[in-house]
Structures are given as structure tokens and as C-alpha cells.
Structure 1
Amino acid sequence: MGQLNGKNALVTGATSGIGLAAARRFAAEGAHVFITGRRQEALDEAAGSIGEDVTAIRGDVSNLEDLDHLVDVIRRHGGGLDVLMANAGGGEFAPLGAITPKHFADTFNGNVGGTLFTVQKALPVLNDGAAIVLLGSTAATSGTPAFGVYAASKAAIRSFARTWAVELVGRNIRVNTLIPGPTQTPGVEGLAATPDEKQALLEGLASTVPLGRMGRPEEIANAALFLASDQSSFMTGAEIFVDGGAQQV
């Protein structure tokens, strides 16, 4: 039996990287998976790679109307939500002296606001006993030059998990934070402007990991499955680091 047989799961930002890997893993374990993304072409491609038991909804988590539409689709499908993985988000480098109001607003609206309002809007369709998985980052616990706004947004996500775990305990809804370490995803690679910068970035990130390499999205997805399933039934308000030892050793 699959660990998520008969369950409905939502993964936001699931067109690539960790989100797509998690959606594939959830579907392989028996869940019907709802996925979101901002680009229709990428969303269609992602859905095709997951299989038949998937519903793809184009939308931006920082847009409240898009979130309302997402929840409406889930409601009409029936069965509510058993798993919500708030994965959508991203960031860009900007040193302290170059941070602009737009950079700050875009990062916080996407990462913090997007996570907050995704969970809030989904509350009416979340089943009692559901699992919420929030995506944090090791950047929130270590200083990375020019990455301060992103790091602060991910620190807010960790704080949300603590508060929501207490607020939702009456419905037996568990809220935990998954903390990936440096992971080779299109989003990370997109932080570099040129192929040479990309190579330097990836080598630099790998050098910070005691295991000597970057993580694979599938490795993060395995931990996401643990938090989404009954295997983690005695966990809430916690954080799991999947970082190759980067913040542990």
C-alpha cells in the first residue's frame, strides 16, 4: 500500500525542482495531487510527468484571486485536502546597500504572503488530521552575503509553523517545516547570470556541505513524504533539516 492512498495533496510551485519531485512522490504513494505554477506550459509538462492522478491549476500564490480559484477547484473535486505542501517561493541576491522596496516586497509577498494566504485560504477544505509542510531554508539560520531578504522571509516561515501548530492542534492538523540544504534545482541555477557564474555558484554551495555535494530534489521529496504521511504522526511545530550536514556539523 502507498503511504498516501486515498488522500488528496496540494503542492504549490510544483513545475520544477523540489515541488515537482514532491508531487511525483506523493502521486507514487497513492495521492491525488493538485499542483500549481505560474506558467501554463511548464505546468502542463509537470502534470504529464506525474501521471493521471493529478489536477494542474495555473496561479500565483501571491495573488489572492488565484488562491480563491485554487481552493474552489479543490472543493469541487471533493474529499478535501489531507496534505498541503506550501513550496512556492524564491529569491534573488541583493546586498544590503542595493536592496530596493520592490525587491523586499516581491520576496516577502511571494514567500511569506504566499505561504500565509495559501494556508489561510485552504483552511475550509483542510480535513481534520491533515498535514501541512512548509518549506524553509538553511539560509534562515546562517549568514549568506546578499541573501538577507530571502533569509528573513524563510525565518518568518519557520515562525509560522510554530504558531500554526498550536492554533490548529484542536483539529489535529500538524504543521512542520522542511529545511532543504543546497539543492540543485532550476531555481538555484537561475540565481547565476552566466554559465561561468552558475558553475562557480554550484561548486561554492557544494563546498559548504559536509557530504561534499548538493542535494537532489528527490532526496528532499523523500523527507516531504515523511512529514506528509502518518509516519510523522507525533510531530508538529518541528523542523527537519535535509542539508547534507551543512547546519549540523
Structure 2
Amino acid sequence: MSTLDGKVAIVTGGASGIGRATALLFAREGAKVVVADLDGAGAEAVAEAAGGVAVQADVSDPADCERIVRTATETYGGLHVLFNNAGIIRRTTALDIDVEEWDRVMAVNVRSVFLMCKYAIPAMSGGGSIVNTGSGWGLKGGGNALSYCASKAAVVNMTRALAIDHAKAGIRVNSVNPGDTDTPMLREEAKQLNEDWAAFEKDAADRPMGRSGTPDEIAQAVLFLASDAASYITGSALVVDGGGLA
């Protein structure tokens, strides 16, 4: 049997990067996958490759989050795994971010996790696993990334609170906390900082393992937390960063 045979999984932010890699890995491991993303065409492409279904959605919107969960339960008859991966970054300080940008980062990175859990947990009637994407910068500070650091720290501690509240229902909740990973978001960071990609990539590789991560490597960690192999793990913050925090 594959790791997720018979499981139904939702992946938000599934059109690219870590979300895409995880949706495809979940499918290879036997899961029926619902791919949700603001990029509808991207979600459709990943869902087609995964043999699943796509939902074009803004995960900061309660109605859209409820619709994502309803799609999973109506299409596949249940829900077992939720990967809250949708996120954005703004490389700014407190002095140069405006209030609207701050609110959008918090809406996409934090509010979405709350909303998806609010609607997904009741659908996990037989228990399940929730994995939230945090960040190394949710566990320590970073420069020119105030709203991102604050949002990911919120995700890490919200994960712990959710784990406490829902353990008796058989629902495990953990966070995966990547270091710099070669995704479209990382390249977007370089653009926001007006830095040359080659120089930015070299700086991202400044860690004991001497390189940035790949989406597939983060996906493997998500699979572990989502699977029964992690059956006694909840409330944990798994760091996957090539030794960067160490």
C-alpha cells in the first residue's frame, strides 16, 4: 500500500512551488487531491497531473474556504489531510510597508489557516492530519521581512493551539518550516529587493548544507507529517532548512 491510500487531501497554494510538489507527491502516494489556488489555471494543471480536482479560490475569503472543503467532501466523500500552504511575502520594514500590504500578508498567511481549519476540522470526522507551512523566519527574526516574520510566527503558534484543542478528536496539527527553497516566491523576493538572482541564490545557500532546498524535499517532510508514520507527532514545528537555524 502507498502511504496515503484511501485518503482525501486538500492542498492550498497548490499551483506552484511547494504546494505543487506536495500535491503531486500526495497523488503518487495514493491520495485523492483537491488543489486550491488563486491561480485557477495553475491549479487546474496540477490537478490534472495529480488526477484530482481544482478549486480557484482566495483562501482569505471564508466562503471560498468553505467551498474548498465542500468540494473535497462532495467529490470524494470525506477529508483526511489538509495542507495549508498558501502564502505571500513582502520584503519590507515597518517604515516602508503600508497598512493594506500588512493586512494582505496577514490575511493570506494567517487568516487563511484559521479559516481552512475552521471548515476542515468538522469534515475530519474520523480524525486526520493538518500541516501548516511556517518558515524558519517563524522561529527567528529576519531582515526586511517584518510582516512575513510576524505572520509565520503566528502560524507556528496557532499550530500548537490547534493541536491542543483537537487532539481528542484524533486530529494532529503540525507545521513544516522550510528555509530558503527554490520556488517562484524566492525569486519574487529577489525582485522585491532589487537583487541579482545569482547573488540572491548564493546568499540563500549560505547554510551548513551549502545550498537552498527544493520543493520536492519540503514535500517529503509534509508527507511524513501527514501520514500515519507521524502518528504520535502533534503540535510540532519541523524545521527543513539544510541546517540554517542550527
* TM norm structure 2: 0.95
Report the equivalent of 1:158: 156
Partner of 1:60, secondary structure, is coil
- Distance in 2 between the 1:73 and 1:196 partners? 41
- Distance in 1 between the 2:236 and 2:139 partners? 15
- Distance in 2 between the 1:143 and 1:11 partners? 27
Amino acid at match of 2:243: G
The number of equivalent residue pairs is 245
Cα deviation code 1:147-196 (max 9, x no counterpart): 01100100000111111111101111000111111100011111222896
Cα deviation code 1:196-247 (max 9, x no counterpart): 622222111112x210000000000011110010000010101111100001
Report the equivalent of 2:98: 100
Partner of 2:140, secondary structure, is coil
Report the equivalent of 2:120: 122
Cα contact 2:11–2:34 (8 A) shared by 1: yes
Does 183-192 or 223-232 show the bigger shift? 183-192
Match runs of 1:44-83 below 5 Å: 44-50=44-50, 52=51, 54-83=52-81
- Distance in 2 between the 1:239 and 1:177 partners? 5
Per-residue deviation at 1:6? 0.7
Cα contact 1:12–1:88 (8 A) shared by 2: yes
Among candidates 214, 219, 222, match of residue 220 of structure 2: 222
Amino acid at match of 2:18: I
- Distance in 2 between the 1:123 and 1:109 partners? 20
Runs of 4+ in 1 over 3 A off after TM superposition: none
Does 37-46 or 232-241 show the bigger shift? 37-46
Cα contact 2:44–2:53 (8 A) shared by 1: no
Partner of 1:104, secondary structure, is helix
Report the equivalent of 2:244: 246
Cα contact 2:126–2:170 (8 A) shared by 1: yes
Amino acid at match of 1:221: A
Report the equivalent of 1:141: 139
User: Is residue 168 of structure 2 the alignment partner of residue 170 of structure 1?
Assistant: yes
- Distance in 1 between the 2:208 and 2:187 partners? 21
Partner of 2:10, secondary structure, is strand
Amino acid at match of 1:22: T
- Distance in 1 between the 2:211 and 2:133 partners? 21
Amino acid at match of 1:32: K
Amino acid at match of 1:211: M
- Distance in 2 between the 1:110 and 1:70 partners? 15
Change in Cα spacing, 1:196 to 1:154, as seen in structure 2 (3 Å) is closer
User: Is residue 14 of structure 2 the alignment partner of residue 14 of structure 1?
Assistant: yes
Cα contact 2:138–2:149 (8 A) shared by 1: yes
- Distance in 2 between the 1:144 and 1:163 partners? 24
Report the equivalent of 2:179: 181
Tell me, which stretches of 5 or more residues in structure 1 are unaligned? none
Cα deviation code 1:74-94 (max 9, x no counterpart): 221243111111001111111
User: Is residue 199 of structure 2 the alignment partner of residue 205 of structure 1?
Assistant: no
Report the equivalent of 2:191: 193
Identity of paired residues, percent? Answer: 36
Amino acid at match of 1:140: G
- Distance in 2 between the 1:196 and 1:115 partners? 31
